């Protein structure tokens, strides 16, 4: 029995692969470039891309379990087309290939566990907001944030292949992933910026987060016990941003930002300073998209995952302590000279490349992604 993991070199993917190897499973990873560390662990590494049908065919050959984690975590609006291609079209190509393999008499699929995001439903305008797995898609609210919008479209691709191709897909919706091991700052970049004292003020919104290790365990539980067609929100703590920063202050000793900024002033200020700094050749510390998202409340209820998957997230403070310790132990918050440095430059807020514009026009014309 072979288990395929796409995105196996990412933050969540590496934790998942480690746990699967510990369980003695035969693991195959599809990755863009050869990873010697995975190979030394006994993982079968397939070099390739979800853009290439031949690569997909090699990756799915003989597999009975699939964890589809491949994705791009990005707040940069200029790269929207890249996120849509990975999350929407890449998912469509993979699922179509799996469906074709089944029709051709390939091995039966036990299950496909897909990594979506809590941001498909879990974003509201007020502090009393709380999303459940039955909440409607937050398409209107996340329309300016292509990462979450692409995940909504990807969930629709999942729904199509569940309904029309009988693929046993379970959709996992983790919130912000924290914990040790995020070498690229794909999820923990905000904590890094806090430690660098580069968050100038407290925003009015709220945040939800979950430990990456608990999330990996939940994905394995979903493979064993998850119901095909079902979604599972995964979160450990819902906190106002003020409370979140205060906890980080208590754990790290770094002072939390004290000045609160109202939503409209925060957005206008972020965009103004973003453009002004770039005009003189400097990069702003916090990108406008992050400031905009910090005005909303990303609170979720993980009851279904707890009831059906046995999801038991560890206390939030334990996750925050381990995140801070790992960042400091690995020097992620410093450059080679030992100086604090930001590693997530943002593009001009108003610039959108031709590829993204063309992709948006295609989606608008179709109203929803094509199904076949």
Average pLDDT rounded to a whole number, residues 120-125:
96
Is 263 part of a structural domain of the chain? no
Show the beta-strand stretches assigned E in the chain. 2-6, 26-31, 44-47, 63-68, 111-115, 169-174, 176-178, 206-211, 231-234, 237-240
Residue 353 in any domain: the answer is: yes
| Residue 125 forms part of a structural domain | yes
The tens digit of pLDDT for each residue in 123-156 reads: 999 999 999 999 999 999 988 888 899 999 999 9
pLDDT tens string 249-275: 999 999 998 877 655 555 555 555 455
Q: d(Cα 118, Cα 141) in Å, to the nearest integer?
A: 13
pLDDT in tens, 53-81: 999 999 999 999 999 999 887 766 667 78
Task: Give CA separation, 208 vs 117, 175, 211, in Å.
Answer: 12, 6, 11
Residue 126 · residue 92 · CB < 8 Å: no
Q: Is the pLDDT of residue 224 over 70?
A: yes
pLDDT at 198 over 90: no
Can you state the angle between helices 316-329 and 241-252, rounded to 10 degrees? Answer: 50
Its pTM stands at 0.86
Lowest mean pLDDT among 36-50, 173-187, 188-202: 188-202
CATH number at residue 18: 3.40.50.720
pLDDT digits (tens, 9 = 90+) for 171-194: 999 999 999 999 988 899 889 989
Q: Is residue 343 part of a domain?
A: yes
Q: Annotate 39-97 with DSSP letters as a single string.
A: HHTT-EEEE--TT-HHHHHHHHTTEEEEEE--------GGGHHHHHIIIIIIHHHHHHH
pLDDT digits (tens, 9 = 90+) for 295-330: 899 999 999 999 999 999 999 999 999 999 999 998
Residue 67 to residue 114: CA distance in whole angstroms: 6
Specify the pairing of strand 206-211 against strand 237-240: antiparallel
Residue 149 phi/psi, 5-degree rounding, is -65, -40
Greatest distance between any 2 Cα atoms in the chain: 63
| Residue 114 token pair | 């897909």
pLDDT tier at 34 (50, 70, 90 boundaries)?
confident
Tell me what percent of the residues of the chain surpass a pLDDT of 70: 80
In a domain, 271, yes or no: no
Per-residue pLDDT, 284: 52
Contact between residue 205 and residue 298 where contact means Cβ atoms under 8 Å apart:
yes
- The pLDDT mean for the chain works out to 86
In terms of residue numbers, what domain contains 103?
A: 2-253+292-359
Closest CA to 311 of 171, 214, 225: 214
Instruction: Pick the more confident residue, 42 or 290.
Output: 42
**Coil, helix or strand at residue 197:** coil
Tally of domains in the chain: 1
38 is a domain residue: yes
90 occurs within a structural domain: yes
The answer to whether position 364 is within a domain reads no
In angstroms, the CA 276 to CA 253 distance is: 32
């Amino acid at each position: 029995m072979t288990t395929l993991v796409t995105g196996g070199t990412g933050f969540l993917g590496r934790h998942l692969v480690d746990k699967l190897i510990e369980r003695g499973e035969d693991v195959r990873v599809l990755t863009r470039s050869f990873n010697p560390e995975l190979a030394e662990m006994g993982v079968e590494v397939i070099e390739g891309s979800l853009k290439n049908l031949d690569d997909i065919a090699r990756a799915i050959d003989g597999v009975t379990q699939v964890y589809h984690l491949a994705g791009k975590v990005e707040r940069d609006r200029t790269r929207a087309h890249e996120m849509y291609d990975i999350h929407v079209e890449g998912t469509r190509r993979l699922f179509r290939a799996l469906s074709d393999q089944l029709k051709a008499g390939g091995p039966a699929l036990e299950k496909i566990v897909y990594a979506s995001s809590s941001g498909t439903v879990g974003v509201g305008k007020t502090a009393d907001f709380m999303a459940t797995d039955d909440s409607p898609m937050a398409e209107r609210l996340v329309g300016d944030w292509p990462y979450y919008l692409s995940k909504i479209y990807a969930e629709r691709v999942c729904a199509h292949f569940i309904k029309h191709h009988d693929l046993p897909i379970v959709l996992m919706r983790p919130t912000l992933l924290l914990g040790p091991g995020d070498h690229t700052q794909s999820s923990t970049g905000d904590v890094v910026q806090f430690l660098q004292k580069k968050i100038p003020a407290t925003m009015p919104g709220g945040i939800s987060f979950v430990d990456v290790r608990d999330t990996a365990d939940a994905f394995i539980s979903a493979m064993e016990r998850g119901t095909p067609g079902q979604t599972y929100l995964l979160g450990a703590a819902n906190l106002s941003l003020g409370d979140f920063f205060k906890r980080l202050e208590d754990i790290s000793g770094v002072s939390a930002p004290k000045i609160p900024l109202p939503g409209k002033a925060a957005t206008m200020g972020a965009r103004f300073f973003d453009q002004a700094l770039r005009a003189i050749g400097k990069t702003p510390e916090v990108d406008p998209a992050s400031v905009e998202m910090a005005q909303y409340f990303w609170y979720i209820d993980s009851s279904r995952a707890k009831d059906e998957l046995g999801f038991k997230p560890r206390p939030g403070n334990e996750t925050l302590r381990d995140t801070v310790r790992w960042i400091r132990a690995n020097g992620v918050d410093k450059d080679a000279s030992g100086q604090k440095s930001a590693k997530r430059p943002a593009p001009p807020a108003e610039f959108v490349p031709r590829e993204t514009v063309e992709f948006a026009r295609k989606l608008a014309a179709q109203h929803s992604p094509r199904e076949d």
